[in-house]
């Protein structure tokens, strides 16, 4: 008698349900957190994609004293991971008007699959940002470059997570004042506790980026 193993189908359904829950979380954050910022000056929408990865981020900027703050939510999706994030940073011009630096925190929530086993990613990372506006130097040349680095050491990691490190770099060319296309490089490394020892997952991706500013 032939037997059909239904466990893979159940696992697939569970994975899809987890994905749906993560998307719902992002939508909830967008709906209830970002619109509540009454002093918002700018709304940014960013979508980056490659053949294997999709990155999404929505953020708002609002003034605080002589500087400004940025609050955003995002989503990373790859073959072996689905990670949502929430970040907040204070930013301001440093040394020259075209250079902006920022410091903040970034919360991460998601799941990573390593060798057919799922690990929970839960962490709060320190966030360092940098941005250079070429348009303020080279006769309004419509190009913008940005970098970010975040790290969550063990005391700021929870559940299965032991450490998280992420680096992001992007160059955007503005086709019109509020719309740009660009190239994005994003890499991360996540380390987890496992009964067999420490296990790691890392990913490097080069993505085509699309950005809107309202």
pLDDT tens for residues 14-67? 554 455 455 545 554 554 454 554 445 688 999 999 999 999 999 998 888 888
**Has residue 1 been placed in a domain?**
no
**Has residue 47 been placed in a domain?**
yes
Range of the domain at 180: 7-213
The number of folded domains in the chain is 1
**Has residue 201 been placed in a domain?**
yes
**Has residue 111 been placed in a domain?**
yes
**Has residue 2 been placed in a domain?**
no
Average pLDDT over every residue of 156-176: 96
**Has residue 107 been placed in a domain?**
yes
Per cent of the chain over pLDDT 90 is: 66
Q: Identify which has the larger pLDDT, 159 or 13.
A: 159
- Residue 90 gets the label, from left (phi > 0), alpha (psi -120 to 50) or beta, of beta
Q: State pLDDT tens for residues 41-52.
A: 688 999 999 999
Question: What are the angstrom distances between the C-alpha of 201 and each of 55, 81, 111, 125?
Answer: 17, 9, 11, 17
Task: Please check whether residue 112 is in contact with residue 144, taking contact to mean a CB–CB distance below 8 angstroms.
Answer: no
Task: Please check whether residue 91 is in contact with residue 68, taking contact to mean a CB–CB distance below 8 angstroms.
Answer: yes
> SS3 for 81?
strand
**Has residue 200 been placed in a domain?**
yes
Q: Which of 100, 99, 102, 74 is nearest to 89 (CA)?
A: 102
Task: Please check whether residue 149 is in contact with residue 128, taking contact to mean a CB–CB distance below 8 angstroms.
Answer: yes
DSSP state of 195: T
pTM attached to this predicted model:
0.80
CATH of the domain at 41: 2.40.160
Which residues have C-beta within 8 Å of that of residue 107, sequence separation ≥ 6?
A: 85, 86, 87, 123, 124, 125
CA distance 130 to 92: 10
């Amino acid at each position: 008698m032939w037997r059909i193993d239904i466990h893979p189908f159940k696992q697939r359904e569970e994975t899809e349900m987890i994905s749906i829950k993560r998307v719902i979380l992002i939508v909830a954050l967008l709906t209830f957190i970002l619109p509540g910022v009454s002093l918002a000056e700018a709304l940014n929408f960013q979508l980056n994609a490659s053949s294997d990865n999709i990155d999404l981020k929505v953020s708002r900027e609002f003034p605080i004293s002589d500087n400004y703050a940025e609050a955003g939510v995002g989503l990373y999706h790859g073959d072996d991971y689905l990670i949502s994030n929430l970040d907040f940073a204070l930013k301001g011009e440093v040394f020259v008007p075209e250079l902006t630096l920022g410091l903040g925190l970034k919360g991460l929530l998601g799941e990573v699959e390593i060798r057919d086993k799922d690990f929970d990613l839960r962490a709060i990372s320190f966030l360092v940002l940098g941005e250079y506006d070429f348009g303020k130097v080279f006769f309004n040349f419509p190009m913008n470059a940005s970098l970010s680095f975040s790290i969550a050491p063990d005391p700021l990691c929870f559940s299965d997570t032991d450490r998280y490190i992420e680096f992001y770099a992007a160059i955007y060319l503005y086709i019109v004042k509020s719309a740009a296309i660009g190239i994005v490089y994003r890499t991360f490394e996540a380390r987890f506790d496992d009964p067999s020892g420490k296990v790691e997952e890392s990913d490097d991706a080069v993505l085509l980026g699309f950005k809107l500013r309202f």
